[in-house]
Amino acid sequence: MCYDAKCMMDNPSIKYKSYHSGDLIIGGIISLIYMMSNLVTFKRLPSEELLDDPILLQQNFLHILSLIFAVKEINENPQILPNITLGFGISNSYFMATWTYLASMELLSSHDRFVPNYKCTIHQNSVCVIAGPNSHNSQVMADILSIYKIPQFIYGSAPVMDNLIHTAFIYQMFPNEHLQITGILQLLLYFKWIWIGIIFQENEIGERFLREVLLRFSQNGICFDYIKEFPTIAFSNEMGEQINNFVKVCKVIMRSTSSVVIVYCENQVMALFRMISVSEYWEATVERKDKSILSPKSEKRCTGEEKLETLPDSVFELSMTGQSYSIYNAVYAVAHGVQAFLTYHSKHRSAADSGKQKLFSHHVWKLHRYLKKVSFNNSCGENIFFDQNGKVAFGFDIINWTQPLSLCNDHCSLGFSKIKIEGKPFCCYKCLRCPEGKIANQTDLDDCFSCPKEHYPNMDQTLCINKHTVFLSYKEPLGITLTSVAFFFSFISAVVLGIFIKHQDTPIVKANNRNLTYVLLIALLFSFLCVLLFIGQPDQVKCFMRQTAFGIIFSIALSCILGKTTIVVLAFMATKPGSKMRKWVGKRLANVIVLSCSTVQITICSIWLATSPPFPDSDMNSMPDEILLECNEGSAIMFYIVLGYMGFLTAISFMVAFLARKLPDSFNEAKFITFSMFVFCSVWLLFVPTYLSTKGKYMVAVEIFSILASAAGLLGCIFSPKCFIIVLRPDLNRKQLLVKKPK
């Protein structure tokens, strides 16, 4: 028994599509409505696995409007494709490969009948296809349309194409992806967004993007607060879990310290992420405690008084996007390519419209030659053309950007340097105040630096200030005081010298070696005056003379004291019966002592001045904010030799005077000399630690004070008792009272 068998085939059809007739049809495969399928169990027809509630992506609807607007604008422009009307046939691919294949085959069929590879009319010539925005649409579409060499324009993310033949018929309406990454990098560096987050989609394109971003961004000093992955949404029974994953990503963003996040994903994923982000952001804006958008126990979240104007414009974007702009340019590129094609083949046309349609019906593949050479200025004035790889050659525009601060921590302000935090990325650091003497005049300096020698840091350690020069001046109170004291004691010395000269024939003057007394008083007079070489701005003459003059004058004074005490001691030793010291007593010995001791110091100073003489110098290191003008001693060794020799004379004089302290009263000048030498030694012993602990111009003041104090001690202790007798008690200045026999 035989039965007639019939094959019943339900022609598949895309529900959401738009068509407008024309001489030439521009095809569009655009994912507008997102439909997720349940897990295919092969127990029901796959068509029944689609959900009943589709998700409309409003942003992608703008892509369709952009295509329709460009077609309408070209049809109304008589300068482009005159006597030819463009039409369009736009199909929704539902973000799924199955429906993308179906939309591609529909382009190869008649408008009202699904018979792939057959067309029942010549009025439906598809000259190109514009597809997007997700990457797999382009890859799936190319499997079919590349067989017919139909031009394919991609306006979304770039697919990973393994088939080089397919790439010959594909035109990318967005800039090179490497250029995109470079632009993002330049943007981050320009705004100093070095602490960012990365979110990418779980597919081959996302992983490729992540590999390049991690390498290039890290090499340019950008750190990552977090790196999160968007899962791929495939089946509706996974939807709840996927939304929870999106919520977790949103919470990571909201709780992170970074203010900048780079999201790299397909449109449909971004749409879902935006909805969840808006919900999370909205709850944070109205300060609700419950943050779970899926919790069935959550209370009513809105009061009805909230306004959309309070949300950022990036959440509800109504202006033309970059992808809409790419579609607009793609339509115009096709129009200009068709016009160039028709211009070249116009001599082969016999009829007007029908000839054009027949020409494209069989030779649409020839359009590639003209598309690759397309170059025109669009309505914005931007030049549109394709490079050798079929990618449009223009860059990116940045619109509606604000400038937040996106750092792991706040900038290190002026006066602070960065200190790395152990266990944290190199973008995370602490701020440490610059050490004393260093500054940081820029934010986020790795190290503070010292000012030049002639500058010093301000209190905030943010800039360098010129040091001011200082020296012990005659105009300041300390300089005036020391100068006045020096002149006062010089006057006293001159008065005493005058008294002694006036009363030179009196017994008290004659009894203590009158000539040595005159020399000692003159030496003390010049000792007081030599301090004037230490006051005022140092110059070559002052530096050359002051230490040597001080050393020689004081050596002469000490030599006179040593001569006087030595003569006294020898005089009493000569009075003993049978003493051989009688021949040493006399003025000659005193003169020899003074000349020999002074000559040694003069020789030392001469060698010093001949080998390493002192010179004017500036000390920039002793005081942080001052440049001290001083005299460099030239040779520190010679300076200390001069001081050492003076100390030697002081010690010898003190010892000799100490031995003569118990001689009879009438000749006992040694007692006063002993006391004066004790004062002298005390002053210079205190000078050493005081001088070493003092800085700046006060070091010079300490030395001046020591000179004045020691010289005044000699003058007062030795000559005040004698002046008292000469001036106030002349009755005691008689030989009978001064000469006493030793007991």
CA–CA distances in Å: residue 9 to residues 20, 340, 719, 726: 28, 43, 142, 152
The radius of gyration computed from the CA coordinates of the chain, to the nearest angstrom, equals 53
Contacts of 680 (CB under 8 A, 6+ apart): 650, 710, 713, 714
Give me the count of residues in the chain.
743
Q: Which helix (H) or strand (E) holds 591?
A: helix 587-611
Give the Cα separation of 430 and 410 in Å (integer): 9
133: preceding bond cis by omega (within 30 degrees): yes
Give the Cα separation of 420 and 431 in Å (integer): 9
Give the Cα separation of 331 and 151 in Å (integer): 12
Contacts of 424 (CB under 8 A, 6+ apart): 408
Per domain, the residue ranges of the chain are 17-40+48-175+322-385, 416-466, 477-732
The 3-state DSSP class for residue 406 equals coil
Give the Cα separation of 418 and 252 in Å (integer): 27
What pLDDT is attached to residue 482?
92
Give the Cα separation of 7 and 74 in Å (integer): 45
Give the Cα separation of 711 and 571 in Å (integer): 27
Among 22-26, 45-49, 225-229, 441-445, which is the least confidently predicted range? Answer: 45-49
Q: Which residues of 401-423 are buried (b: 16+ CB within 10 A; e: fewer)?
A: eeeeebbbeeebebbbbbeeeee
Residue 494 has pLDDT above 60, yes or no: yes
What pLDDT is attached to residue 399?
58
pLDDT band at 1 (very low <50, low <70, confident <90, very high): very low
What pLDDT is attached to residue 9?
47
What pLDDT is attached to residue 308?
52
Residue 599 has pLDDT above 80, yes or no: yes
- As a whole number, the mean pLDDT across the chain is 79
Contacts of 414 (CB under 8 A, 6+ apart): 440, 441, 442, 443, 460, 461, 462
pLDDT band at 552 (very low <50, low <70, confident <90, very high): very high
pLDDT band at 304 (very low <50, low <70, confident <90, very high): low
Cβ atoms of residues 385 and 374 within 8 Å: yes
CA atoms within 13 A on the CB side of 554: 32
End-to-end CA distance of the chain: 179
The 3-state DSSP class for residue 131 equals strand
Give the Cα separation of 167 and 368 in Å (integer): 12
Of the candidates 176, 153, 170, the one whose C-alpha atom is nearest the C-alpha of residue 331 is 153
Residue 299 has pLDDT above 50, yes or no: no
The position carrying tokens 């089946």 is 235
Q: What is the pTM of this model?
A: 0.56
What pLDDT is attached to residue 333?
93
For the segment 404-440, what is each residue's pLDDT rounded down to a tens digit?
A: 777 787 888 899 998 888 878 878 888 999 998 899 9
Give the Cα separation of 285 and 34 in Å (integer): 29
pLDDT band at 292 (very low <50, low <70, confident <90, very high): very low
For the segment 238-260, what is each residue's pLDDT rounded down to a tens digit?
A: 566 677 888 888 888 888 888 88
Give the Cα separation of 544 and 648 in Å (integer): 24
For the segment 76-133, what is each residue's pLDDT rounded down to a tens digit?
A: 999 999 888 999 999 888 777 888 888 888 888 776 677 776 666 655 678 899 998 8
Cβ atoms of residues 412 and 443 within 8 Å: yes
- The class level of CATH for 17-40+48-175+322-385 reads alpha beta
Residue 301 has pLDDT above 70, yes or no: no
CA–CA distances in Å: residue 5 to residues 1, 2, 8, 12: 12, 9, 9, 22
Q: Which residues of 719-740 are buried (b: 16+ CB within 10 A; e: fewer)?
A: beebbebbeeeeeebeeeebee
For the segment 134-180, what is each residue's pLDDT rounded down to a tens digit?
A: 877 778 888 888 888 899 998 887 666 666 677 788 888 877 777 78
Residue 530 has pLDDT above 80, yes or no: yes
Of the candidates 526, 517, 527, the one whose C-alpha atom is nearest the C-alpha of residue 496 is 517
Residue 739 has pLDDT above 60, yes or no: no
Of the candidates 72, 247, 267, the one whose C-alpha atom is nearest the C-alpha of residue 156 is 267
Count of H helices and E strands in the chain? 20, 22
Cβ atoms of residues 87 and 21 within 8 Å: yes
pLDDT band at 483 (very low <50, low <70, confident <90, very high): very high
What pLDDT is attached to residue 608?
92
pLDDT band at 603 (very low <50, low <70, confident <90, very high): very high
- Reading the block at residue 434, the tokens are 């610059």
Give the Cα separation of 219 and 373 in Å (integer): 38
What pLDDT is attached to residue 342?
86
What pLDDT is attached to residue 602?
92
Question: Which strands, in side-by-side order, build the sheet including 86-92?
Answer: 17-20, 86-92, 24-30, 126-132, 152-154, 170-172
* % the chain with pLDDT above 90: 15
What pLDDT is attached to residue 67?
93
Q: Which residues of 571-581 are buried (b: 16+ CB within 10 A; e: fewer)?
A: bbeeeeeeeee
Among 119-133, 611-625, 628-642, which is the least confidently predicted range? Answer: 119-133
* % the chain with pLDDT above 70: 77
Residue 524 has pLDDT above 70, yes or no: yes
159: preceding bond cis by omega (within 30 degrees): no
Q: DSSP secondary structure string, 276-327?
A: HHHHHHHHHHTT-S---TT-TT------S---GGGS-TTTS--SPPHHHHHH
Contacts of 724 (CB under 8 A, 6+ apart): none
What pLDDT is attached to residue 437?
85
Of the candidates 366, 329, 374, the one whose C-alpha atom is nearest the C-alpha of residue 69 is 329
Among 64-68, 263-267, 482-486, which is the least confidently predicted range? Answer: 263-267
The yes/no answer on whether domain 477-732 falls in CATH 1.10.10.10 is no
Cβ atoms of residues 678 and 655 within 8 Å: no
The position carrying tokens 């302290």 is 661
φ/ψ of residue 243, rounded to 5: -65, -40
